[in-house]
Amino acid sequence: MSDTPTGYDVLHNPALNKSTAFTRQERELLGLRGLLPHRVNGVEKQEVRTLENIRRKGYDIERYIFLISLLERNQTLFFRTLINNIEELMPLIYTPTVGQACKEFAHIFRRPHGFYITPEDRGSISEILSNWPENDVRIIVVTDGQRILGLGDLGANGMGIPVGKLSLYVACAGIQPHQCLPVMLDVGTNNQELLDDPLYLGYPAKRIEGNDYDELVEEFVTAVSDRYPKALLQFEDFLTPNAYKLLDTYRDRILSFNDDIQGTAAVALAGVQAAHRITGTNFTDIRIMFLGAGSAATGIGDLLVAALVDAGIDIEEARKRLWFNDLHGLVVEGRDNLMPHNLPYAHDHEQLGFVEAINTIKPHVLIGATGSPGTFSREVVQAMSTVNDRPVIFALSNPTSKAECTAQQAYEWSEGRAIFASGSPFDPVEYEGVLHRPGQGNNAYIFPGIGLGAIACEAKRISDEMFLAGAAALAEEVSEQDLAAGSLYPPLSSIRQVSLRIAVKLAEKAWEQGLAKTEKPDDVEAYISQLMYVPEYPDLAK
């Protein structure tokens, strides 16, 4: 009580503010009399009022602004409302609305969130990091804004992504809010439209590259590792070459992962594993084709290979089950424009067009990670439907406007036979009297649980086997009822329980591999569960 702000200050502290829920006793003790309306409204009524305000707004971007403003003034009410209405509100605070919020970030800016680092901070990152008020940060999400969703280089506007991701860490996995740190490596932007915008708030120069870029990242990683040695560092929305370089550089040095590469992979793998229960195809017999060969697609491929190897398939044979298409066609041997991460999947095969490749190779699963809308055309979906009784189609590009096809198109063009999943949400679709519920293969099903498990056991690093365990745990949460509706993922309403299951499996794998710093408790699930944040107002009268 003695350390609690009083009066006007407590009303402007988002971690303590209860607004109209302050009791009579709290109002007396904290000097709040006269500063609030007479009526005491508990959090239940506040949530009703919050939802009324959200729903009366005409546009999703307005709803986003309202929710972020709520987070700024009343943290408990924000997270309680989000958790209790996750299916309605997650699309507002994350994909697809966060894409528009990032594009308009400088124009809707209200209050600063997170931590910004620019080239001018070189040599003093450790010093300025002490300006952050929290000393027990456990989850850091960092981006340089160069490849925000499917929208490209948004520079410092990309801060909306770490803020959104960390909101989901709290809501979906119960990470303590004060333990979250969003970071923007604002190294400039090559987006001339932003540089010409007088309201743009980022570093007003072209992006630094090469050694200058690498040295700034190294200084940042060293600084956060020194100040927050227990923190998990999540790399987010980096351009493919930098994404792989940073993952390869730091994955064994510090507790870190790349969500676009590894998180996306785990979600996709879980969806593929769940799809077998509908199609009846054995996992070890599967053939998968990708449209897109960047970090997300190749990350999925690498984890699928690891899963096939784990199932007893030789690694070279496992790679032969996966086929990639990029802007230049099928990824095959002899092409001179392939990046290093593509080379393991360059097969000895003639060059084919996309539809021709589907008809020839006959994949069971089609995965899109292109950022290019409409690339799963009617001809593509019909080709998949010709070679499969139940074609499995993942249109994973975000936001919704960038999806390779819509749920409606997938079901109509396949005559209702497609098993469809997407990165952003689509409404259920009725086709010829049957209601199909498309699964949302969103990384929010994986990364919160990964983070919770990693910090619960104080993992030294996150291994591929941990992501395999997380994917398996997610696939196990898909019920027969979900599958009957054509959904490859559990409902978002169960996401906190899903995250807990993933956290338990990851932590157990960490202990099994000798990669955890803490002793394994007798009841792992109970131990992790009691760590999870529950948004309840504190009793400030004590």
The pLDDT of residue 424 is: 86
The pLDDT of residue 398 is: 85
The pLDDT of residue 21 is: 98
Distance, CA of 376 to CA of 397 (rounded, Å):
12
Q: Which amino acid is at 536?
A: E
Q: Do domains 92-254 and 262-443 have the same CATH topology?
A: yes
C-alpha distances out from residue 224 to 74, 129, 170, 196, 233, Å: 28, 8, 20, 33, 9
Distance, CA of 542 to CA of 537 (rounded, Å):
13
Write out pLDDT tens, residues 322-347: 999 998 899 999 898 888 889 999 99
Distance, CA of 291 to CA of 511 (rounded, Å):
37
The pLDDT of residue 6 is: 83
Break the chain into its structural domains and give their ranges: 8-91, 92-254, 262-443
Beta bridge partners of 429: 436
Q: Which amino acid is at 384?
A: M
Tell me, rounded to whole angstroms, the distance of Cα 538 from its chain centroid: 30
User: What's the whole-model pTM score?
Assistant: 0.94
| Residue of 64, 103, 116, 165 marked active site | 165
The pLDDT of residue 1 is: 47
Give the chain's radius of gyration (CA, Å): 24
> Which of 476, 264, 285 lies closest to 368, judged by CA?
264
As averages over each run of 10 residues, the pLDDT of the chain (542 residues) reads 78 96 96 96 97 97 98 97 97 94 96 96 97 97 94 97 98 98 98 98 98 98 97 96 95 96 96 95 95 92 96 96 93 90 94 95 96 94 98 93 95 97 93 94 96 98 96 96 94 96 98 97 98 96 84
Order of strands, sheet of 329-330, starting from the edge strand that comes earlier in the sequence? 329-330, 322-326, 288-291, 365-368, 392-395, 419-422, 439-440
Distance, CA of 57 to CA of 374 (rounded, Å):
30
Topology (CATH level 3) of domain 92-254: Rossmann fold (3.40.50)
DSSP string of 387-413?
H-SS-EEEE--SSGGG-SS-HHHHHHH
Contacts of residue 383, Cβ cutoff 8 Å, sequence gap at least 6: 355, 358, 359
| Residue of 18, 64, 94, 402 marked active site | 94
Return the number of other C-beta atoms located less than 10 Å from residue 160's C-beta: 31
Q: Name the DSSP class of 232.
A: E
What would the CATH number be for the domain defined by 8-91? Answer: 1.20.1370.30
| Residue position matching structure tokens 């790399």 | 235
The pLDDT of residue 20 is: 97
> Which of 108, 80, 215, 101 lies closest to 162, judged by CA?
101
Query: % helix / strand / coil in the chain, to the nearest 5?
Result: 50, 10, 40
For this structure, is 165 an active site residue? yes
The pLDDT of residue 336 is: 86
For this structure, is 94 an active site residue? yes
Tokens matching residue 202: 């980022």
For 257: left if phi > 0, alpha if psi spans -120 to 50, otherwise beta; the answer is beta
CATH match of 262-443 with 3.40.630.30? no
